[in-house]
A and B are shown apart, each in its own frame.
Chain A
Amino acid sequence: KAGVTQTPRYLIKTRGQQVTLSCSPISGHRSVSWYQQTPGQGLQFLFEYFSETQRNKGNFPGRFSGRQFSNSRSEMNVSTLELGDSALYLCASSLEGGEETQYFGPGTRLLVL
């Protein structure tokens, strides 16, 4: 089985712009979660999608949003980028979300200038 894939792998944007990141889960997985990883804050949960619906949400401002498509692929959008949004964005997929294993993607490294 192919693993979780994320595109693009690297991205450079400027303040005020918006960005869309994509995540393709492992085939058959319906739960997709997004995380932000920074040296200072570590791994922080953004949100989880299941069956095209946001099921859980972390403590991030409304500039961070996402969606999930019928094929379980998910996108994350950040509007009005700030310097502090520079981070590695990870997505993880699992079958249903819960006790089973989450599988992580390689991440998208976003740099905001």
Chain B
Amino acid sequence: AQRVTQPEKLLSVFKGAPVELKCNYSYSGSPELFWYVQYSRQRLQLLLRHISRESIKGFTADLNKGETSFHLKKPFAQEEDSAMYYCALRTMNTGNQFYFGTGTSLTVIP
């Protein structure tokens, strides 16, 4: 069965410190992984996806198929990074069927 696990419900770091939000997945097929973010009072929005191999707002994530992980990292956390972060797995070749983790609430302490 497909599953996405985010082991940390809450994560606090100091401004300027590195941050890593963990995500592990379980899927027998070829995974497509995403990170979504929801800032306070805003809609859920895409942060980045593994196929793009891009860096958004200083965040990066590398798909590690051996460890079935897709951890989100940023070398220097900023206060505006405080938000809820969701890791998501897309399983279908056609259309959208997403499995979301339960989310990690990140607080960056000034």
Contact assessment for A56 and B100 in the assembled complex, using a CB-CB cutoff below 8 Å: no
The residues of B that contact A90 with a CB separation of less than 8 Å are 44
| A42 with B100: CB separation less than 8 A | yes
Chain A, Cβ-Cβ closest to B103: A42
Interface string of B17-39 (1 = CB under 8 A from A): 00000000000000010000000
The answer to whether B43 touches A105 (Cβ under 8 A) is yes
On chain B, which size bracket covers the interface? 20 to 34
| B97–A48 CB distance below 8 A | yes
Choose one: A42, A45, A55; the contact of B102 (CB below 8 Å). A42
Tell me if B43 and A98 are in contact (CB < 8 A).
no
Which of B43, B98, B99, B101 has a CB less than 8 Å from the CB of A33?
A: B98
Name which residue of chain B comes closest to A32, CB basis. B96
- CB <8 Å contact, B51 and A99: yes
